[in-house]
Every structure is written in C-alpha cells, then in structure tokens.
Structure 1
Amino acid sequence: MASPLQPYPQLRSVLQRLQGVPPWALLSLVINGLLFITVVVMLRQLSRAGDDVLRQANAFAADPYVAVAPFDPELGRRHSLDYEQWVALLAAEAQAAVALNAPRQNILLGDSLTLWFPSTMLPGRKTWINQAISGENTGGLRDRLYLLDDTSPEAVFIMVGINDLIWGGSEADLVYNVRRMVNYLRQTHPEARVVVQSILPHGGETATWEGRDRLLTLSPDRVREVNDQLKLVAVETGADFLNLYPLFANGDGYLRADLTTDGLHLNQNGYMVWRTALALFNETDFQP
C-alpha cells in the first residue's frame, strides 16, 4: 500500500530539509499540510453545499483541532467532513506520525467528546494523536483500528459507547466490541498500555442537546452498569481502566451542569477535569 505522502513530492522535499527541526514541530507541520489537502479536495466535491460549509472547512484548514468547537453553542451540528473523509484524514495523520517517528505517541480513540479535546490542554511531554470521529460508535471504531497498525504508541486511550446507547445499540454488542478492540490493540501493540475509559454521564432533564429525548431514555443506572462491564473487560484483557464517571456525575448520577455545554458535550471546565485525570493517571504509572 502506497504511503499517503507519495503523491506530494514537494512535501517530502520540505520534510527532508527540516530534519533538524524537533519531531513535535514536524508532526504539526505535516498534519496541517495533509489536512489542508484533504479540505481542498472536500471543497471541490462540496462546492454547491453553501457558504456555511465553506466557513466550517476554512476553520479546519486553519487549525486541525478546530471543530465546530466544544465551546460553540451549536454543538449538535455535524462536521463538514463525512465519515469516509474523516477516516481518510485520520489514516494520513497516523502515517505522518509513523513517517516522522514521533516520540512518546499517545493515541486518543473515541467520539466527539474525544475529538473536541483541546490539544493545548492535553498533558505535556507526549505526542498526542487524536483519532476520534464525531458520532462514532463501538462498531465503527473497532473496524478502523487497522489504521494504527504501523504506529508505535506508548499508550492508547479509548472512550466510546455513549452513541451506541443513545441510538438504541445493545449493551452486549457495546461490551463485545470494546473487548475486541482491546484484544486487537494488545496483539498489534504489545508494548503499549491500553486504557479503557468509562462512559461519561449525561445531563438528563437539564440537557439542551438536540437528541435530548433519547438521552432521557438512558438512565444513570444503565450507564453505571455499562461502566462496570467495561471495567471487567479491562481486568480480563490486561488493560487499564480509568473511571472518569464519578468526576463528572452529580448526586443524582447526571452530568454536572458546570462541566457541559448541552448536557452531553463538555465545556472548558469539563476538559480540565479530564485533563487532570489523565495527568494523574500518567503520573501513577497508569494504575487505576
């Protein structure tokens, strides 16, 4: 399979001339370049989609971590990239990390909660590779893990499953898929720590997210039960389990209002809580 960098000899030439630059800076440069190319192709395909799409695409071209932002009031809106385009983009980013031999690779896997994690808030002294897609479920994530086969992560963090529950998926399938993910990652990256993170609570009656009615059918007890099963999967497969749920839940088991924008997604305070948990987890040698 040809490298995604082969069609762009100018990019390869630039990378050769910048070999003295720190890998962290090179990785950012390559990812931005690949993202720009992807967005240009996307704009040609979607030129009739209107000015709103163009504004979102320009935001992506300016910064690979800018989405319709975790601090934007219209969090229910989807990205202008469709699922297949996101997968292609993430494949290119993973290959860029491989090509640059990025040090201390830590991979984030999940849905919009992970996707919108501000890169500037992630713990330092690591290369964070965000491989999340908005709206992702466990089946979709399971089927694209092969994109990471050539990477060399020291840790892989998984948070996925809330979309399965929101859209009517079964707990059994959710847990089965996470088990398959962990087993696959432990086989392909035996030296890496695989960290299963708990599903977060939602805001219940106070939620303003566009799918609020679906949230109301998902009880806190069911979320806790799924998290108990995910912890068991981690124990049985030799992975680690990071239980974030208690940090985000109020006394009734719903998402704390001060940590969310709409009862499902996180605000800056929410990401600070998550960031602190990741930092402490790293400092304690990934032990739960």
Structure 2
Amino acid sequence: MVGTGAIGVSWAAHFLNHGLDVVASDPAPGAEDRLRDGVAEIGADPARLTFTADAGQAAAAADLVQENAPERAEVKHALFAVLDEAARPDVVLASSSSGMLPTEIARAATRHPERVLVGHPFHPPHLVPLVEVVPGERSSEAATDAAMAFYASVGKTPIRLRRELPGHIANRLQAALWREAYSLVDRGVASVADIDTAISQGPGLRWAVLGPFANQHLSGGPGGIAHVLEHLGPPTEAWWRDLGHPVMTPELERKIIDGVDEELAGVDPAALARYRDTVVRAVLAAKKEFDT
C-alpha cells in the first residue's frame, strides 16, 4: 500500500479485514499514526499492518502493490520508477488513479511496464465494491487477469475496460451528471438542494439497485428497452441537444459553494458521512440478501 491518505487508509482497512498482511508506505510526517488511527476507526485490526517510509522497501515485500499517490504525473512517474525497480517482476503494480491513463503512468516503469495498470476503487474502497481495472497499451493479459482475480478474491466487484480513457467509466458518468447539475444551477433552473433531492429521492434510488440500461429496460414494460428507444429515442435526442455546457467561472463556483453551504447549514459533515455509509451498508446487505 503506497500512499496512505483517505483512499490508502480505506484500502488498507479493506485488505486487513479480508485477512491480508499489509505493508504500507508514505513519506509524510505522522503518516503511520494517521494510518493506524484511520484503520482502527474503520474497524480493521492493525495487528497485521506494518509501515515503512520507503516505498521501495514496501514494494519489495509485496505480492501486489496498490498505489494511491497524488494525481500528478511527475509524482506518479517518480514513484513508479521506484516500485518497478523494487518489486518482483511478477508483481502487479496497480494505481488507484481516478483519471490518469495507465499508459502514461507506466512510462516510468522501464523494467516491466507490462505489469502496470489502473485499479481504480470507488470511494470509500472499504465499503463500495466497484474497482475499475484499466490496462494500458503495454499491460499484459496475465497482469490484467491477475488484478481481476485479486480484487474479486477480496470481495470487490471488478470491471475491465476494453479501452483506456481519462476518468475511466464511473467518473465519466458522474462528470456527465455533474455537468448538467452545474448548468441547471448556473441557469437558475433549480437550487443545489433541489438537484440533490431530485437524484437522492428519484433515479438515484433505482441506480443503487440496477444500472442505467437495466433500469431503462424495465421502464419499457413488456416491450423493454426496444419500446423505450422507439417512443423516447427522439425526445431523448432533443434533451441531449439542450444539455448545458457550463464553464467553471468564479461566479459559478460561488453559486455551487453557497448552495451547498445553504443546503447543509448546521449539518455535521462527519455525521453526514456516517449516515451515508450506514445507508450504503444497508443497501449492500439488502442486495446481497436478494441476490442469493
């Protein structure tokens, strides 16, 4: 585990809770104490957790490396040069990058670029099952298959991208929603709170159970998605043409910030996060019950 910020702490707790030994590395002062406190707060036993400030030392001891450094190319390149030098040749080097291309990340891995790929979790990794496995131009099938098998073995739901794109899949879908949400605020169509309500009390409830295509299929009744496309295809195209193209101006940023402040006035952020995580756990438990 290389990099022990919020994502690294969550990953570490998840791996520990699935019986793995974790060797963590982070050069920041106080990183070990924050990591141990965070892991314990999530509910993982830190007894099988060791720490070193030396990323190469951590990689040399690893059967898989999960990297969680800042989203800056120069940081990734410097780090992957070290990891590629230290790790055994068969060890997958997976980046948690939320948007960078694995081909770009692998440029620094001159010895074994074939074992570099993206293993992008969805925050928080100890709770949300999704992992996007993204091979780059030089990633091998063996490394990709190993990553898919590893994530599945620790209770994740991995999906493999057939082509690398900035932002992968889930973040691009989120970005599409955010673009229109920001546009609606910018145009004065709705408040920040109303948009949050529109999703959390509307389609978001269905999206927590089934994805967009399966939900659209069900909305078509006996005719399924074929019926939906026949009758709502042209109107949907018209809506697409009318979607906004907001620009992140200081004025729009201020509207968003003020809207969130108004929506969450008096709400404790830590309590809100606990509420979110508790409900997500309940949804996951219900899905598991009905899926079996």
Fold match, TM over 0.5? Answer: no
Q: Work out which of the two has the higher radius of gyration on C-alpha atoms and give 1 or 2.
A: 2
User: TM (normalized to structure 1)?
Assistant: 0.30
Higher RCO (CA < 8 A, seq sep 6+)? 1
Return the structure number with greater helix share.
2
User: TM (normalized to structure 2)?
Assistant: 0.30
